[in-house]
Amino acid sequence: MNITVVGSTNIDLVYLVPHIVTVGETLHSTKHELFFGGKGANQAVTASQVGANVHFIGNVGADDFGEQVKQNLQDKGVNTAAVQKVGITGQAIIQLADSGENSIILFPGANFLVTTDQIEANKNTIASSDALLLQLEIPMPAVETAANIATQNGVQIILNPAPAQPISDSLLRKVSILTPNETELAILTGMKTETEEDLYHACNFLLQKGVGAVVVTLGEKGSYYMNNQEHGLVQANPVNVKDTTGAGDAFNGALAVALGHGNSLRESILYASKVAGYAVTQLGAQPTIPSSFQINK
């Protein structure tokens, strides 16, 4: 299957700490690591590793980091013909606590230089895809342009609304599957997301806006999903968590591939949960995923 990802790339500067720093606190890091990241790149790398033919549209910086990021995408099997070099490569400064929890500061850099013209120049790539994966770490006009092209050509759109920000009703109506976490769902709807009943009402609110389906990622609790036919909670299997950075991105990349192979929404969520569950047992947002996770169906 063919998947196009329009989104962000980053270099992740990871600092291992006993706990997440609080206001006014100075804390020594026990270790420093450099990883590849960016929500778009994370999703692209996952989808490629589990069996999809992936094209990436976005920017890296015209610097050494940019060359490294682009080469890494290519090494993971992602087509980078539509990747431009401009400005400074995006960076994420990540605190990773002993518990596996993280705190992230984003410097967007080249990601905020993705333009609508750049998207239009690659419209044939989007139009010929089975699915389009989107996030919100690039300018909204670029996201909306990509969604418009996909809609005009009957391409399924999976939108991960992160970082959370206002989304127009016109964009929501184009989304086949929306994949927020609990916090993002609360921001999008202005509703509580603490209980399963809360999730039901918040997801239903988005369905009434025209979204095809909502899949809410709940971390170790699993996922809650709803479309016009069914809804329910999908439990996650317990794992030994090392790093939750990029877990949601691994979930999204795997979800797109599973759906593209004809699996039901619930079956696809179960598969995506397994892939994300493996990802959090590894360090970094783009771990190597064993070939045993590939879908052969």
pLDDT at 297: 45
Structure confidence by residue, pLDDT tens digits, 101-130: 888 888 999 999 999 999 999 999 999 999
Q: What is the domain-level CATH number for residue 79?
A: 3.40.1190.20
- The three-class DSSP label of residue 94 is strand
Check pLDDT > 50 for residue 25.
Answer: yes
pLDDT at 245: 81
> What DSSP string runs through 202-239?
HHHHHHHTT-SEEEEE-GGG-EEEEESS-EEEEPPPP-
pLDDT at 104: 84
pLDDT at 296: 63
When pLDDT is averaged across residues 260-288 and rounded to a whole number, the result is: 93
Structure confidence by residue, pLDDT tens digits, 234-258: 998 889 888 888 899 999 999 999 9
Give percent above pLDDT 70 in the chain. 99
Is 249 among the catalytic positions? yes
Q: What CA–CA distance (Å, rounded) separates 76 from 13?
A: 20
Which residues are within 8 A (CB) of 197 and not within 5 positions of it... i.e. 6 or more apart? none
pLDDT at 102: 84
Mean pLDDT of the residues in the chain: 95
Question: What's the one-letter identity of residue 106?
Answer: L
Quick one: which H or E segment has residue 286?
A: none
pLDDT at 5: 98
Does a cis peptide bond (omega within 30 degrees of 0) precede residue 163? yes
Q: What's the domain range around 80?
A: 2-23+30-293
Which residue's structure tokens are 């699993």? 222
Total count of domains within the chain: 1
pLDDT at 213: 98
How crowded is residue 177: how many other Cβ atoms within 10 Å of its Cβ?
A: 24
When pLDDT is averaged across residues 123-149 and rounded to a whole number, the result is: 98
Do the beta carbons of residue 6 and residue 58 sit within 8 Å?
yes
CA-to-CA dists, residue 170 to 147, 154, 174, 210, 262, angstroms: 10, 16, 7, 9, 27
pLDDT at 149: 98
Do the beta carbons of residue 146 and residue 126 sit within 8 Å?
yes
Structure confidence by residue, pLDDT tens digits, 158-215: 999 999 999 999 999 999 999 999 999 999 999 999 999 999 999 999 999 999 999 9
